[in-house]
A and B are shown apart, each in its own frame.
Chain A
Amino acid sequence: AIQMTQSPSSLSASVGDRVTITCRASQAIRNDLGWYQQKPGKAPKLLIYAASSLQSGVPSRFRGSGSGTDFTLTISSLQPEDFATYYCLQDYNYPRTFGQGTKVEIK
């Protein structure tokens, strides 16, 4: 199975900060990657698919980039509602695999 490694595992940031989360695949996965946001006790929410396509209704401060093995989720200006855990998910092959998650906390 393809291993997805996110970094950092957690970070502290302030409202208005620019935040970058990275996801590295154990082998090349083209751009077959999505990003999901999850708040405590809630279901995940789709942010990005195909590495850089913004899901409808998701604010434009979220940006995905990358291809091959290295991917990035950038939040250009962190808002109070963005404090959550973020997961990448590869859909290049089976089994689909998630990264371990990155928790974004308030500084």
Chain B
Amino acid sequence: VQLVESGGGLVQPGGSLRLSCAASGFTFSSYWMSWVRQAPGKGLEWVANIKEDGSEKSYVDSVKGRFTISRENAKNSLYLQMNSLRAEDTAVYFCARDLNPRFGEIWYDAFDTWGQGTMVTVSS
């Protein structure tokens, strides 16, 4: 079971970047997936998630309208399209698999597998 992010780099403010997360070793299409980021020296921040079939997506307010999460199950890949980038988007971006365990009628988050992270730096 493995997740490998790619696509990070240095971009100017206002620019765009597309992150990818390649999944292997499990049935990718059976899991919700999330992006989580961590600014240098700071804590973790959940960014977005997407349902198994891509029909449901959610975002943190600070990226709504600028970032788009998507997936291609045939390619076992998760993506994060980031537009109108700001300095405050500078962070390591992790993709994570959600086990989504269920107890009765309640589903929980449980990010059991993470990638190694990809660094995004927004600077002029």
User: Contacts A30-B106, A49-B99, A50-B103; is A36 near B111 (CB within 8 Å)?
Assistant: yes
**SS class of chain B's interface: helix, strand, loop or mixed?**
strand
Q: Shortest beta-carbon distance, A89 to chain B, in Å? A: 7
A-B contact count (CB 8 A): 68
Which chain B residues in 23-59 approach chain A with CB under 8 Å?
34, 36, 43-46, 49, 58-59
Q: How far is the CA of A50 from the CA of B109 in the complex (A)?
A: 8
How many residues of B sit at the interface, in one of the four size bands?
Answer: 20 to 34
Bitwise, A69-107 to B at CB < 8 A (1) or not (0) is: 000000000000000000101010011111111000000
26 A-B pairs in the complex with CB atoms less than 8 angstroms apart:
A32-B108, A34-B109, A34-B111, A38-B44, A43-B94, A43-B115, A44-B36, A44-B44, A44-B94, A45-B114, A46-B110, A46-B112, A49-B109, A49-B110, A50-B106, A53-B101, A89-B109, A91-B108, A91-B109, A95-B59, A96-B34, A96-B46, A96-B49, A96-B109, A98-B46, A101-B44
